[in-house]
Each structure stands twice: as C-alpha cells, then as structure tokens.
Amino acid sequence: MRDITLEMAQSLSKLIRFPSVGGEPADGAPFGADVKDCLNYFLSLAESFGFGTRNYDGYAGEVVFGEGEDFAILCHLDVVPAGGNWSRPPFSGDIDFSEGRIYGRGAVDDKGPAIACLFAMKALKDGGFRPARTVKLIVGCNEESGWRCLEHYKKCARLPEEGFSPDAEFPVIYAEKGIMHVEFRFPAHGFSDLTGGGATNVVCDLCSVVCPADEAKLAKYMLTFENGRVISRGKSAHGSTPERGKNAISPVLLYLGEYKAHELLFENFFHLKGVRDETGELTFSPNVVRQENGFYYVACDIRYPVTYDRLKILEKFESEHIPYKILHEQAPSYVDRDSPLVKNLCAVYEEVTRRRAQPVAIGGGTYARALSRGVAFGPVDVGDADVVHRPDEFITFSQLEKCYDIYKLALERLTKSR
C-alpha cells in the first residue's frame, strides 16, 4: 500500500467519526454541532497542508489553490441517517486492513472523494504545480436534504461556472434527471403513529404502526408484531434506484387496508412507469411516512428524464384531487457529450484505468447541476459494491487510491501549470 493511501485512509476515518447528519441549528452551526465540527476538521486539515480556506458561516467551506479563472470541485460533508442493520458502528470510521476497507456512513458519499480531492491538490502543490486557474474545493453541509449550503454560498461568493462533483459514478456523468420530492396526504383511521423512513432520497427499510395484531395478515405480508406495533423490515437503497431496495412502507399499507393509497403510491396508478429518454426511466419511490392530526403523509422521491416536462407529473396528481405539496425540487442537468470538459475527463479516466470511457446519464442528483458547465465524476466505478445509502457503507483502499490518481491528473489537465 502506498504511503499516500494510508494517510488518506486515516484522515477519512477521522472525518467519518463526525456523525454529520443534519441536526438542530445553533450559532455558527446551521445544520447542527456535528456537521459544524466535521466542516471545521476538514478545513483545518486543508490549512495544515498550506491551503487558504474560508468557512461560510457553517453552511459550506472552501479550499483555494491557484490563480485565474475559477474551477470548482463540489463535494459535501453531510450524510444521510445511518439507518439500521449495520454490522459495525456506522460512525466508527473503522479501518479494516485485512479487507482493505474504511467503513462508515459517508465513506463513499461523499467524504472519501472529498479527501481524495484534497490530497490530490496537496500532491500537486507540494510537487510545484502552479495552476493557471483557481481551483476551489467547495464542501457543502446540506447536500442530502435541501442544498441550503450552496444557496448561502451564492449569497456570499460567486459560484464558478465550470467544474465537477465527485459524487456519482465514473467515467463521466453528462446528464442528471430532474428531481421532485412530493408529499401526499391521506386520512388515517383505525391506527396511530404510522412512521417509517429517515430521508426522502433513501428507500425506507423500516416502517411500523400501532394497531391490533391480525395473525393471518401478519403472515400474508411477512410482518412482525412487537410491543404493540406492526413492524415491516425492508432493504435500503438510493432513492434514484428504488429497484435495488425493498420498500418497507408497501406491506404496512396493505396490512392496514389502505388499498387506494397503495395503488396510488406503488402500483403505477399515474402511468409514469415507462416514461424515459436517453437519460433513463422515470422513478417514483415513496420513502418516508409520518402520521399527525388525523392524517398520514408519504414523501416520495421522483426522478424524471431530462426531456420530460415536470408539469405533466403534477397534472396527473391534480387530476386525481390528491392533496400534495412539493418539498424540494431540482431541474435536470445536461452538458454536451462532446464538450471539452466531458472529453478531457473521459480521456483522464481512460489513461488511469486503461478502460474505454463513454459519458453516461444518471437519476442521482449532484452538485454538478448547480454549475453552468458541471458534470459528476466518480467515485463509484464498474465492479464497485453498491453501498451508497446502505448499511455497512465502505470504500476500499484501492478505490480511494484510484480516485486520488484520477483527480490529480484531471486537475493537471484542466487547470494547466503556469
């Protein structure tokens, strides 16, 4: 193992130990004390490498290298809730040398890539590289739940026009689907405290409700009854790929006899399944449920193709007179496949990995869409385990090392030494 890999692994382990899930705001900590501490650690590490940094009031941080036209690397330090079914503590930052892995929530999404980019910048600086552009490594603290971090950044500074976000897949993501988080409301009768899911962009892996036990229905829907609650256990996955998970809300609705709600949410009632273009198929994933004041609310993660009109989706909801509200949305992102940025990054990927590269589209949403000319670039590659937003998230030493090599060469090519 290279010395640089061990150094990155140790720094990443420390970064993971900050449970940077959004929490209660406080002075200088708009997303909670843990997120603030995580940001401060990352910026202090960058300062120890000799970089200039800036903390934007706890919303985001910035590491600066070079002079000239700005070039952005957009990462995030916040993480989704850990969820259940971990075989080791999710915020331990456990380094397993026998397996060659660093474990913990955020190892891949997105603390590992942030560390790889920072160390790539350090290696270039220490080697005498003088970029002809100003590289701004911007780390946000609210990417997973609202992007208020970038909104605040843009109030305080000018966001670069071009750059990449190491928060998706290799080789290069040239397009990202549009995103809508929509919450539907349904009347609740005969049950209480229906609850499930931790984040709208994560497939619900645990749902429960207080109601009488019915042994036949418990067996039919493969549920359990524990301490007065009906329990459903599923399998988490990223909200953009719900087919990779098992939604725990669905069987609970069937158990409760909420057939209309189940039809609307899980049975393609709106005829959205099959809507697709070159950027992929529309996905619809009901991921969070809560109950209050005689109603229950289900928040759904919708990812729609770049060429599809979002208003067509809303028209379908309104035609059924179902109460709903939009919690969050982001417009689709698209960069020409033949642009210099995409071509250069594909060439870098091919040179480091010796694999042919073709740009692809995804359903995930990254900071890349905040830029006029932004793409997503790694860290997940062909053959890597699908661990994002799942229990026992990890990144391997070899993944971390490969990201470092790719990002270092990418910065050399895209910013040129003076």
Instruction: Render pLDDT for 316-328 as a digit per residue (tens, 0 to 9).
Output: 999 888 899 999 9
- Domain layout of the chain by residue ranges: 3-177+333-415, 181-330
Class of domain 181-330 (CATH, top level): alpha beta
Q: Report residue 29 CA to chain centroid gap.
A: 21
The answer for residues whose C-beta is within 8 angstroms of residue 108's C-beta and 6 or more apart is 379, 380, 387, 388, 393, 394, 395, 399
Encoding tokens for residue 112?
A: 């590992």
**Cross-strand pairs, 76:** 140
pLDDT at 1: 75
Residue 110 a catalytic site member: no
Encoding tokens for residue 199?
A: 């984040």
Angle between helix axes 259-266 and 249-256 (nearest 10 degrees) is: 150
The C-alpha atoms of residue 199 and residue 177 are separated, in whole angstroms, by 19
Across the chain, which distance is largest between two alpha carbons, in Å? 74
DSSP calls for 78-146:
------S--SS-TTS--EETTTTEEESTTTTTTHHHHHHHHHHHHHHHHTT--BSSEEEEEEES-GGGT
Which residue, chain included where needed, has tokens 């669905």? 250
The confidence band for 13, taking pLDDT boundaries of 50, 70 and 90, is: very high
Do 374 and 164 touch, CB atoms closer than 8 A?
A: yes
Residue 226 a catalytic site member: no
Given the residues 78, 162, 169, 301, the one annotated as active site: 78
Dihedral sign of CA atoms 301, 111, 406, 369 in order: positive
CA nearest neighbour of 398 among 413, 415, 418, 383: 383
Dihedral sign of CA atoms 141, 163, 393, 169 in order: positive
CA nearest neighbour of 245 among 209, 195, 283, 296: 283
The C-alpha atoms of residue 98 and residue 117 are separated, in whole angstroms, by 25
Mean pLDDT of 68-83: 96
Dihedral angle of Cα 102, 103, 109, 114, to the nearest 10 degrees: -30
Given the residues 34, 94, 109, 143, the one annotated as active site: 143
User: H/E/C letters for each residue in 40-72?
Assistant: HHHHHHHHHCCCEEEEECCCEEEEEECCCCEEE
Average pLDDT in the chain: 95
222-267: pLDDT as tens digits: 999 999 999 999 999 989 999 999 999 999 999 999 999 999 999 9
* E strand residue ranges, 197-282: 206-210, 224-226, 229-233, 276-277, 280-281
pLDDT at 116: 98
Encoding tokens for residue 124?
A: 């270039």
288-338: pLDDT as tens digits: 999 999 999 999 999 999 999 999 999 999 988 889 999 999 889 999 999
The confidence band for 279, taking pLDDT boundaries of 50, 70 and 90, is: confident
The C-alpha atoms of residue 365 and residue 168 are separated, in whole angstroms, by 8
77: exposed, middle or buried (Cβ count in 10 Å: 0-12, 13-18, 19+): buried
pLDDT at 418: 60
Q: What is 3-177+333-415's CATH superfamily?
A: Zn peptidases (3.40.630.10)
- 19-53 as b/e: b if 16+ CB within 10 A: bbbbeeeeeebbbbbbbbebbbbbbebbeebebeb
